[in-house]
């Protein structure tokens, strides 16, 4: 189901004061595909072709800081407000009022906040791997994560400018991609004391059937060019997001939403982890128009179980298209 690179149209679009690179395929209603960490547009290669073949205009940007898109220097330029602004500009560029939005990992987080800020612009949202968490009024996000999981999560380690860059630089980018994308760790992502997360994650000796060395090299080559600072800046803006999100405290996500997760994702089955949360009452009260789909798989499930996830996306947006 993967596609050749030549089937995709590439362009750079000026939006919200920066240039974003996008990959697009097909014609019809607009579907934005938002990648996570450490990914680029190419993580949606399967869905781009599938959605185009089923009558949709699939658009996968490199988010700001990634790939061939601009990478502002300051971490304060990576808030949800900035990135949602970029994406609304893309919708405007294509002359649309609304888009379907699909996001994994950070892309899911961005999609949740796009749905929160501008529900009038989101026809339906598919979140993969990361649910919507309400703002805790009494404690900033990074500190809350430290209290729950200790000082050695990737989120904590990525805060200090330069630290993760130095750690990642000990490996070639292909090895970095293998360590993250092929991770089968099922607990919340945290290294032992005194160890960097990139050193803690093993490098698999063999590739799983769902990805090839050539596909991994597409990611590695782009990160070799761009570096990782733009990607880390999303983590470095987490506490600034907390400050800016105060006006939306207690708000619900009213956009029709499907949440998809792999049951072997990081921390999914841990005590107090994602499974307990998405099956509990709080999540359903915050996202009242919600469907939850749990399938066998890990974090990058839209690549690992590409056909299954593509079918789930299509059935959801088709249902909303006919409403």
| Residues annotated as part of the active site | 104, 235, 299
Nearest to 40 by CA among 91, 105, 85, 121: 105
> Any idea how long the chain is?
323
223 near 281, Cβ under 8 Å?
Answer: no
SS3 for 9? Answer: strand
Residues 239, 297: Cα–Cα separation, whole Å: 30
Which stretches does DSSP call E strand in 47-150?
A: 57-61, 99-104, 122-128
Residue 147: strand pairing partners:
none
- Phi and psi torsions of 12, nearest 5°: -110, 135
% helix, strand, coil for the chain, step of 5: 45, 15, 40
Residues 249, 206: Cα–Cα separation, whole Å: 45
Residues 305, 47: Cα–Cα separation, whole Å: 11
Q: Which residues of 223-260 are buried (b: 16+ CB within 10 A; e: fewer)?
A: beebebbbbbbbbbbbebbbeebeeeeeeebebbbbbb
H or E element in which residue 292 lies: strand 290-295
């Amino acid at each position: 189901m993967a596609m050749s690179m030549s089937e995709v149209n590439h362009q750079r679009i000026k939006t919200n004061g920066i240039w974003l690179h996008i990959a697009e395929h097909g014609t019809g209603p607009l579907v934005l595909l938002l990648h996570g960490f450490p990914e680029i547009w190419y993580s949606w290669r399967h869905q781009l072709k599938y959605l185009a073949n089923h009558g949709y205009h699939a658009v996968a940007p490199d988010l700001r800081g990634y790939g061939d898109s601009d990478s502002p220097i300051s971490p304060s330029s990576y808030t949800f407000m900035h990135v949602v602004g970029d994406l609304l500009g893309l919708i405007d560029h294509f002359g649309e009022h609304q888009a379907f939005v699909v996001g994994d990992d950070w892309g899911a987080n961005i999609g949740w906040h796009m749905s929160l800020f501008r529900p009038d612009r989101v026809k339906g949202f598919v979140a993969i791997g990361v649910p919507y968490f309400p703002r805790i009024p009494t404690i900033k996000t990074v500190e809350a994560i430290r209290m729950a999981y200790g000082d050695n999560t990737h989120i904590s380690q990525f805060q200090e400018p330069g630290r993760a860059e130095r750690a990642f630089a000990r490996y070639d980018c292909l090895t970095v991609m293998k360590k993250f994308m092929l991770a089968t760790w099922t607990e919340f992502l945290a290294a032992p004391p005194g160890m960097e997360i990139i050193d803690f994650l093993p490098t698999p000796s063999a590739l799983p059937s769902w990805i090839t060395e050539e596909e991994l090299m597409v990611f590695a080559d782009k990160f070799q060019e761009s570096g990782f600072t733009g990607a880390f800046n999303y983590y470095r803006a987490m506490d600034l997001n907390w400050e800016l999100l105060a006006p939306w405290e207690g708000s619900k996500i009213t956009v029709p939403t499907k949440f998809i997760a792999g049951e072997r994702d990081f921390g999914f089955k841990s005590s107090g982890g994602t499974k307990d949360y998405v099956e509990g009452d709080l999540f359903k009260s915050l996202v009242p128009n919600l469907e939850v789909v749990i399938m066998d798989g890990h974090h990058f499930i839209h690549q690992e179980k590409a056909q299954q996830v593509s079918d789930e996306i299509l059935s959801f947006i088709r249902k909303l298209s006919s409403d």
